[in-house]
Structure 1
Amino acid sequence: MRIEQFLTDSAATYADKTAIVADGPRLTYAELDDLSSRLAASLARNGVKRNDRVLIFMDNCWEAVVSVFGVLKAGATFSPINQSTKADKLTFIVEDCEPSAILTQAKLMPVVTAALDGKADIFTASTHAPEGHCPRGASSLKDCFESEVREVEHGGIDMDLAMLIYTSGSTGRPKGVMMTHRNCEAASGSITTYLENTPDDVILNVLPLAFDYGLYQMLMSVRVGATLVLERSFAFPQAIFEVIRAEGVTGLPLVPTMAAMILQMRDLQPGFLPSLRYVTNTAAALPAAHIKRLRELFPGVRLYSMYGLTECKRCTYLPPEQLDRRPNSVGIAIPNTEAFVVDDSGTPVAAGEIGELVIRGPHVMQGYWRRKEATDHALRPGPNPWERVLYTGDLFRTDDEGFLYFVGRKDDIIKTRGEKVAPKEVEAVLHAHPGIAEAVVVGLPDPVLGEAIAAFVVLSDPNLSEREIIRHCSRHLEDFMVPKSIAFRTELPKTDTGKISRRLAAEAARVAQ
């Protein structure tokens, strides 16, 4: 199935139901379907063809949702770009994927203009932009949305690319992850199955639509005919809580930084968001201590710990009924997926042994756009001669019942005193201290140890000292795993998607040395 069929089917069944709530405006499924069809016709008239790439450079607004489905209805491939992207990175993406169109907002037009640098062959449309900030020939999205309705006969099938989503570029230049309609259909179908999504769900999304976790909230919502409430950030949690109560939100996707913000608030009472049915977490594992406190705040709410990566969207989830038995686990493979741990030769390892996680399933990417070497490293021969499986680059272990545990990134492992240390193990102990809100652990060059373990923490108890933290770690960790230094911060460096960045923390520490 092609992804635009999600909208076509839901519009036929739930025409007058609210599909999108976004900062005031509300769109029904019929309106979303109509606007996206008009945009598709306008794109086609402006030269966008089947398999062309179209950049969607917007924040969480209703126009972004319309744009995704408009691009797909035109037979093209959409590429969501984070609104915080600067001109040099946007220039790289433009040169890398050669889009035929860019859809954006007025406030972002100066970045687009700088990135295009006079390129006149890329159709550009935005919300109303001030004079002087539009590339030559730029159009208005409003005009596109008012374009004559005409079905575009593009002839596309579900093996065509639906999206090209660029990784954050934590090492080197970002890579475009290629996902077909079939990949996206498989991933969204699997996730909505274990979350038990229905048309009655109201899903709140503060995560950027350019982040696959945020993007899939929209795709899954439209697939099942639910309502999606879009917010631009979680900077003011109390305002978001008011929205949740007003809209009767049933699903709340979190990342660990959002969880940490909630848990630092002292005036929240258990059950303060009574409409919630489930909470999900991915991007990074939630510390067990945070899981315990979230469950106390949200009694009766199903909490899903999950693990995934852009290259296949989602890999594993922990059934909520397993939280008490194994709070540190990220669970089992999602439906219609296999997840297993292998050694360096690709041979599955025994329970308890650490190895690389491999994913096999219909949601695995097609590869990296124009990056054959990187693709061949990530996608390798599978059990059958016709398939390739995804080597995630992440270290995992399983327990005796097959439940998976994230150990760390291969590149993150700290080698100290001749021992290997997974930063996540140290971070879990730090997070278990009630006076620590956030923590990240890195290895810093040391002439004696090879690498010294350094921890950066944000406190919820301002009276907590470095000595007390090290003493706490010494009670729960082997000697070689205890941090050699503790640095206090008011905040930790984060990626565009709100995930704590170990790389940026390490770079800042090395500069300060």
Structure 2
Amino acid sequence: MTTGNPLPGPSTPDPTPYPLDQLAERGDAQARALVLKDRVLSFADLRERVSLLAGWLAGQCEAGSRVASWAAKGELTCLLPLAAARAGLVHVPINPLLKHAQVAHILADSGSCLLMGTKARLQTLEDGDLPQGCRAVDEAEVFASAEAAAGCLGPSDSDPDALAAILYTSGSTGKPKGVMLSHANLWLGAVSVVDYLGMSSDDVTLAVLPLSFDYGQNQLLSTWYAGGCVVPLDYLFPRDVAKACARHGVTTLAAVPPLWVQLTEMEWPAEALASMRRLTNSGGALTVELVRDLRALFPEARLFPMYGLTEAFRSTYLDPDLVDLHPTSMGKAIPFAEILVIDDEGSVADPEEEGELVHCGPLVAQGYWQDAERTAERFRPAPDASTYGGTAVWSGDRVRRDAEGLLHFVGRRDAMIKSAGNRISPQEVESAALASGLVAEVVAIGVPDAQLGHAIHLVVRAAPDASGDMEAELKRALARELPNFMQPHVYHWRETMPLNPNGKIDRTRLEQEIGA
């Protein structure tokens, strides 16, 4: 399809998808679009560089081929989502924290014809890691080659339903699987986020999350849809985030709970607090205590708790005006998403009745790359009650909808701990431990037990100001808050929690370490 400018503005969420590369055509030509370490790109520069990169990419592989990137945040990784789409290729962003064996799996599984990465990372590849027909290119050579070729491509007329990207999950349930996203999925995700966050052209987003993560990549796409500026940051320490917020006048900061915990435990420059308009959270639920800490640290910023899954990008958000009253709620559906709660008989659950969250609508991905079996498990016909119909994502997450229409997370069907005949939500145990004020981070895990079925193991990191006999105090606190059958049987104290490549607590690693 061919489109003309101006495209619909962020003030009215337009359900019409466009080719993804046309995000480069938005924004005032002289306005800042991307702040790099050594220079700043205006929107005019962004258009020129996307055009140049797309022209070079089109000469490297046939249309529809997959091209992978394995590098830190920079010009290449930020522009590739648009440039690959313009060239008619499918972008496969690989988390820069992954090691060569995981990269080899992704390259082989996706059938990528090209891997662009930093020299140091490419040098870690071993014989056989690059599949036949795939070649590696140092990212430093990409733009030099593109400039030498001087072949530019203008905005495409790609079918919005065409495949634009394959995002690989972190592999918490086995080998990473690739989620197929179309131009429409990514475009409408950007439109939706801009609408409910209320973003505008004077916004500055600090992109701290991995660009291989759907939530991380949307930091780019939604900001550019709004005509705003992105500041990509690979941070070593939490204080680097605060310093960058102050230096660049950041208005929008997205993070996952483990990072928020670290950020609330440090001092912030006054100028960083003054510019902040909104905080967004996904990748795990906020606790009552963390909401309290964020609201105290950023009293003028609007806090958006969100829920999402890579298979449908984002599903719900909680209106900031409701955060103080309902701090643990998932909120309601975002624009372009229809969220149903389906009971075990396949009907829409009654208010306060537990059921499975089912996501319907145009944000639903196209399935798992070359994996019909797992696609059929999660991507199934929408329930009869759906107004969208078509294919829906059956999340596996258990939720309930209250009388006010707000959703609340109960637990994952496959993560529920079954102990002494009781179904126990790990999140409920974790929330009680956090509410004690004695711990900063906690994970509840069910470990096989001959008598109980599963024994509850609690892995905890103490609060910074905690002292004394922490385990005894925590046991007393949990005894006050939880019934006997929910009391942890074993405690594991840690100085730090392991994190997966997306910055979330690595539950799979913890399970392996304690023998779950």
TM-score, length-normalised on structure 2? 0.91
Rate the CA distance shift 1:183–1:268 in 2: closer, same or farther, 3 A: closer
- Matches of 2:300 and 2:157 in 1, distance apart? 47
Give the partner amino acid of 1:5.
Q
TM-score normalized by structure 1? Answer: 0.92
User: Residues 309 and 464 (structure 1 numbering): CA distance in 2 closer, same or farther, change over 3 Å?
Assistant: farther
Q: Which residue of 1 aligns with 2:405?
A: 402
**Alignment deviations for residues 316-359 of structure 1 (CA, whole Å, 9 cap, x no partner):** 00001111221110100111221121123321111222221001
Name 1:503's counterpart in structure 2: 508
Q: Secondary structure at the match of 1:368?
A: coil
Cα deviation for residue 51 of structure 1 reads: 1.6
Matched, 1:325 2:356: no
How far does the alpha carbon of each residue in 1:86-120 deviate from its partner, in whole angstroms, 9 at most, with x for none? Answer: 2222222222111122221122112456454474x
- For residues 325 and 355 of structure 1, the distance between their equivalents in structure 2, rounded to whole angstroms, comes to 23
Pairwise mapping of residues 239-258 of structure 1 onto structure 2 (< 5 A)? 239-258=240-259
2:123 is paired with a residue whose SS is helix
Q: CA RMSD in A?
A: 2.0
Cα deviation for residue 236 of structure 1 reads: 1.9
After TM superposition, give the deviation of residue 52 of structure 1 in Å: 1.3
Conserved? CA contact 1:379–1:391, under 8 Å: yes
Q: Distance in 1 between matches of 2:182 and 2:251?
A: 29
Maintained 8 Å contact 1:125/1:141: no
In the other structure, the counterpart of 2:62 is 49
- Unaligned stretches of 5+ in structure 2? 1-17
Identity of counterpart residues, as a percentage?
A: 33
Q: Which range moves more in the overlay, 140-149 or 192-201?
A: 140-149
Secondary structure, counterpart of 1:102 in structure 2: strand
Report the counterpart of residue 216 of structure 2 in structure 1: 214
| CA deviations over 1:38-83 (Å, ceiling 9, x no partner) | 121112222x232211112111112211222221111111011001
Contact 1:75 1:155 in 2 (8 A): no
Residue 491 of structure 1 is matched in structure 2 by 496
Give 1:286-365 correspondences, 5 Å limit.
286-365=286-365
Q: For the structure 1 residues 407 and 35, does the alpha-carbon distance in structure 2 shift closer, same or farther, using more than 3 Å as the test?
A: same
Which of 114, 125, 139 in structure 1 is aligned with 2:137?
Answer: 125
Amino acid at match of 1:173: K
Q: What letter matches 1:195 in structure 2?
A: L
2: CA distance between counterparts of 1:454 and 1:271?
Answer: 42
The separation in 2 between residues aligned to 1:378 and 1:276, in whole angstroms, is: 38
Which of 390, 407, 427 aligns to 2:430? It is: 427
State the alpha-carbon separation in 2 of the partners of residues 326 and 153 from structure 1. Answer: 44
Deviation at 1:480, TM superposition (A): 0.8
CA contact (8 A) 1:264 1:437 kept: no
Does the 8 Å CA contact 2:336/2:363 hold for their aligned counterparts? no
Matched, 1:3 2:20: yes
Is the alpha carbon distance of 1:189 and 1:252 closer, same or farther for their aligned partners in structure 2, counting shifts above 3 Å? same
**Aligned to 1:331, what secondary structure does the other structure show?**
strand
State the partner residue of 1:480.
485
CA pair 8-433 structure 1, distance change in 2 beyond 3 A:
same
**Quick one: which of 172, 178, 203 aligns to 1:170?**
172
Encode CA deviations 1:148-185: one digit per residue, 9 max, x unaligned.
13327976311111111111111121111011111111
Partner of 1:131: none
Question: Counterparts of 1:63 and 1:125 in 2: how far apart (Å)?
Answer: 12
SS of equivalent residue, structure 1 residue 508: helix
Contact 1:435 1:464 in 2 (8 A): no
Tell me how far apart the structure 2 counterparts of residues 409 and 162 of structure 1 sit (CA, whole Å): 30
> Which residue, out of 74, 81, 87, partners 1:61?
74
Alignment of 1:179 with 2:192, yes or no, is no
- For residue 272 of structure 1, report the CA deviation from its aligned partner: 5.7
SS at 2:26's partner residue? Answer: helix
In structure 2, how many angstroms separate the alpha carbons of the residues matched to 1:118 and 1:352?
51
Which consecutive residues of structure 1, in runs of 5 or more, have no partner in the other structure? 129-138
Alignment of 1:150 with 2:162, yes or no, is: no
Q: Give the Å deviation of 1:269.
A: 8.3
